[in-house]
Amino acid sequence: MNPEVSLNTPKALQLLLFVDERSRSQEQTQQVESYLQTLKEDYPFELQIIEVKERPDLVEHFRLVANPSLVKLFPEPRQVLVGSSLVAQLRRLWQQWKEEAQRQQEVLEKGLSQPDNAHDVENGKNGNGYSPDNIYLTEEIFRLKKENQELREQLQFKDQVVAMLAHDLRSPLTAASIAVETLELAQNQPDSEKASELMGQLYKQARTQFRVMNRMITDILQTAKGASSLNLKLQNVHLPDLCEDIFQQFTESLTTKALNFEKDVPQDIPPVYADAELIRQVLTNLIENAIKYTPEQGTLSVSVLHRTTQKVQISVSDTGPGIPEEQQEQIFDGHFRLKRDEAKEGYGIGLSLCRQIIQAHYGQIWVDSVPNFGSSFHFTLPVYR
């Protein structure tokens, strides 16, 4: 939610309800909203619901100390209600507020002035120093500061991506170049079964490295465009076939680290409605990360679960170092990298792209992780109907 607080024109009764997403306050917030809806039948008023994390400037302006909080802006005097008994406080104050609003409305409509604050009323200002214009200016300053910070972060991220991409492309490019040069030398050797086998391995190595480079560049471009430009090609996708095809790509990587690979992909899992190539990208990215962080002889597992009649859940788990709880949401932000990864290859946008793809499929993606015990990444896809 991104509320626009526009209070330049005084209404008969103006209220702001400040809420947050904490589970322990949602039930109380719903009760307050429901009660306010019943009050609208008694007397009309303007209500704006504001998420505290999106408008810290207003939280500070009204000096709020708890949520949910209800602020009566107009008519004066301004009042702030907080605590676990908001509905009870509303019941007690509602008649008084309504009468104050009716009197104020009469004053505004008839052009009458009140003895102590006529100038303030005309200018939309109460005795406590509230001014709609001041709120508007505060909002604009906050918005501009936020946009400026976002632009700075984007420019910094762009510089990081360019540097990391140049570094990361060097490894597969070098490997592919060596493979091609070796192929040229092998062509001059006498034909033999051993030479043919070597050439086959080199071709495979070159193709693999070119595929790695292509995926890196694709990830960069798609992340830059955003989820709205993914251009989904939705179809009936049979996950067991798709998974098996993806698993074959990692046979060599799994063997190199001697990883125990567990897979639980039932053949009778219902088909999903998805873009097969984009889901391939998501699974490939998650499995690559799992292999990257799982120590030698560790365990990597992939499972598919028919979670509900409408959703299928895919999970990729590892026995790596895990992710701190306070950073488990941040890792899906394209501008964020764990401190431990700053010296590693990778440009930190893979999980951001995964989230964009899954959200474009109206699914969810999240991680369960315990530091030093590994991580499990889960995402859901809609069942094909």
**What per-residue confidence (pLDDT) applies to 243?**
95
Task: Say whether pLDDT at 113 is over 70.
Answer: no
pLDDT at site 120: 47
Residues 6+ apart with CB under 8 A from 2: 54
Band the pLDDT of 304: cuts 50, 70, 90.
very high
Residue 373 has pLDDT above 60, yes or no: yes
Same domain, 265 and 371: yes
Confidence tier at 126 by pLDDT (50, 70, 90): very low
Phi-psi region of 271 (alpha: psi -120 to 50; beta: other; left: phi over 0): beta
* pLDDT in the model for residue 11: 53
* pLDDT tier, 52 (very low <50, low <70, confident <90, very high otherwise): confident
Q: Is residue 140 in some structural domain?
A: no
Cα–Cα distance, 197 to 201 (Å, whole number)? 6
Per-residue confidence (pLDDT) for residue 222, from 0 to 100? 58
* CATH number, domain containing residue 287: 3.30.565.10
What confidence tier does 147 reach under pLDDT thresholds 50, 70, 90?
A: confident
211 and 247 fall within a common domain: no
Residue 142 falls inside a structural domain: no
Asked whether residue 9 is domain-assigned, the answer is no
Q: Record the tokens describing residue 195, joined without a space.
A: 């030479």
* pLDDT at position 298: 95
Strands (E), the chain: 14-19, 46-51, 69-74, 79-81, 235-237, 260-264, 272-274, 299-305, 311-318, 365-370, 374-382
Are the C-beta atoms of 59 and 144 separated by less than 8 Å? no
What Rg do the C-alpha atoms of the chain give, in angstroms?
29
- Asked if residue 1 is part of any domain, the answer here is no
64: left (phi over 0), alpha (psi -120 to 50) or beta: beta
Q: Are residues 73 and 101 in the same domain?
A: yes
pLDDT for residue 381: 93
Both 214 and 243 in a single domain?
Answer: no
- Residue after which a domain boundary falls, among 176, 199, 225: 225
CATH number at residue 87: 3.40.30.10
Residues 126 and 162 grouped into a single domain: no
Choice among 190-194, 209-213, 378-382 with the minimum mean pLDDT: 190-194
What is the mean pLDDT of the segment spanning 277-301?
A: 92
pLDDT at 264: 95
Domain containing 164 equals 153-225
Based on the fold, state whether residues 207 and 316 are members of the same structural domain. Answer: no
171 domain residue, yes or no: yes
Q: How far is 196 from 177, CA to CA, in rounded Å?
A: 19
Are residues 291 and 171 both part of a single domain?
no
Residue 144 has a pLDDT of: 77
**Same domain for 339 and 292:** yes
Question: What is the average pLDDT across 369-376?
Answer: 90
Residue partners of 157: CB distance under 8 A and separation at least 6: 334, 335
Q: Is the peptide bond before 271 cis (omega within 30 degrees of 0)?
A: no
- Cβ partners under 8 Å of residue 379, min gap 6: 282, 313, 314, 354, 358, 363, 364, 365, 366
What mean pLDDT is predicted for residues 167-174? Answer: 66
> Is 143 inside any structural domain?
no
Domain count for the chain: 3
Same domain, 240 and 347: yes
pLDDT score recorded for residue 161: 55
pLDDT value, residue 227: 47
More confident position, 49 or 77: 49
Contacts of 333 (CB under 8 A, 6+ apart): 352
In this prediction, residue 121 carries a pLDDT of: 44
pLDDT bucket at 138, cuts 50 / 70 / 90: low
Mean pLDDT of 292-298: 92
137 against 374, higher pLDDT? 374
Q: Are residues 344 and 330 in the same domain?
A: yes
Domain final residue pick, 64, 98, 130: 130
Query: What is the pTM for the complete model shown?
Result: 0.47
User: In 3-state terms, what secondary structure has residue 232?
Assistant: coil
- Domain with residue 168: its CATH number is 1.10.287
User: What percentage of the chain has pLDDT greater than the value 90?
Assistant: 20
Residue 213 falls within a domain, yes or no? yes
- Residue 142: pLDDT band by 50, 70, 90 thresholds? low
pLDDT in tens, 251-288: 888 999 999 999 999 999 999 999 998 899 899 989 99
284 lies in the same domain as 343 = yes
Contacts of 89 (CB under 8 A, 6+ apart): 81, 83
| 348 in the same domain as 259 | yes
pLDDT digits (tens, 9 = 90+) for 305-363: 998 778 999 999 999 998 888 888 888 876 545 555 544 544 356 788 888 889 888 88
Computed over every residue of the chain, the mean pLDDT equals 76
Neighbours of 382 (CB within 10 A): 15
Q: Is residue 176 part of a domain?
A: yes
Looking from the CA of 95 toward its CB, the CA atoms found within 13 Å total 3
